[in-house]
């Protein structure tokens, strides 16, 4: 029997935004380059939710099975996810630049927030109480629910003032700047920070 071909290496999701909603927005790393899109399929959305730690193994399998049984519905759920992601990107990018939020983007958040929060329940577990999302395996949109809550929480918290967008020329990464002076400019010094430094160095030398 032939050895199965090794599957191509999959880059892990980089969860460096500091909030779930920002990590989700960062699943498209640079809006000028389609190649940096990480959510090409509904399964990619499930992989993100699982990597971000809020979708359990059994729920991942249940939603994967539902998507395989209803491909057009899964494709529609992915489109809704991408619409939401771009609305959140615009909302937080505007926030980072000190610009007003677009009413249409805020409306999309509010319209979908209501449907998501209807699935929140308080359950008792081992003597304590906890927020629990109910009905996850039956809803292809369930991976978006915690993201909607995260976005609403961040927008209504003073932490929204620390949302930044990377200064890198080829990067639309959003992050929470939790540095002491709130002066962080790049998603990471290793990638965009060093590129910007090298470019300035080159410009000085050629000037």
List of residues contacting Zn ion (CB under 5 A): 166, 168, 171, 173, 187, 192
Min separation Cβ 50 and Zn ion, Å: 25
Task: Kindly provide the b/e burial profile for residues 25-64, where b requires at least 16 CB atoms within 10 angstroms of the residue's own CB.
Answer: bbbbbbeeeeebebbeebbbbbbbbbebebbeeebbebbb
> Which CB, 146 or 168, lies closer to Zn ion?
168
* Distance in Å, CB of 196 to Zn ion, minimum: 9
Closer to Zn ion by CB, 27 or 108: give it. 27
Other residues' Cβ atoms within 10 Å of the Cβ of residue 135: 11
Q: How far is CA 84 from CA 24, 80, 148, 164, 191, in A?
A: 10, 6, 9, 19, 27
Nearer to Zn ion, 144 or 166 (CB): 166
Closest Cα partner for 82 from 148, 139, 36, 25?
A: 25
Nearest distance from C-beta of residue 147 to Zn ion, angstroms: 21
Minimum separation from the CB atom of position 68 to Zn ion (A):
35
Torsion sign, CA atoms 61, 82, 8, 171: negative
Q: Which of 84, 73, 63 is nearest to 133 (CA)?
A: 63
Question: Which residue lies nearer to Zn ion by CB, 26 or 95?
Answer: 26
Distance of closest approach, residue 32 Cβ to Zn ion, in angstroms: 12
- What's the length of the chain? 207
CB of 14 to Zn ion, least distance (A): 11
Between 73 and 197, whose beta carbon lies closer to Zn ion?
A: 197
Q: Are 36 and 29 in contact (CB under 8 A)?
A: yes
Nearer to Zn ion, 70 or 185 (CB): 185
What is the distance between the alpha carbons of residues 24 and 143, in angstroms, rounded to a whole number?
11
């Amino acid at each position: 029997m032939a050895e199965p071909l090794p599957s191509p290496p999959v880059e892990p999701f980089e969860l460096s935004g500091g909030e779930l909603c920002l990590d989700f927005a960062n699943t498209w790393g640079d809006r000028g380059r389609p190649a940096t899109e990480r959510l090409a399929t509904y399964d990619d959305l499930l992989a993100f939710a699982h990597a971000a730690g809020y979708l359990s193994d059994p729920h991942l399998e249940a939603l994967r099975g539902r998507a395989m049984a209803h491909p057009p519905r899964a494709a529609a759920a992915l489109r809704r996810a991408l619409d939401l992601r771009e609305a959140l990107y615009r909302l937080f990018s505007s926030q980072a630049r000190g610009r007003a939020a677009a009413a249409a983007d805020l409306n999309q958040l509010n319209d979908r927030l209501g449907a998501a929060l209807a699935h929140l329940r308080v359950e008792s577990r081992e003597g304590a109480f906890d927020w629990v999302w109910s009905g996850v395996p039956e809803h292809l949109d369930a991976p978006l629910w915690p993201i909607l809550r995260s976005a609403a929480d961040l927008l209504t918290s003073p932490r929204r003032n620390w949302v930044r967008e990377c200064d890198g020329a080829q990067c639309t990464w959003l992050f929470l700047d939790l540095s002491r002076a709130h002066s962080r400019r790049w998603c990471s010094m290793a990638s965009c920070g060093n590129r910007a430094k090298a470019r300035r160095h080159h410009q000085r030398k050629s000037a």
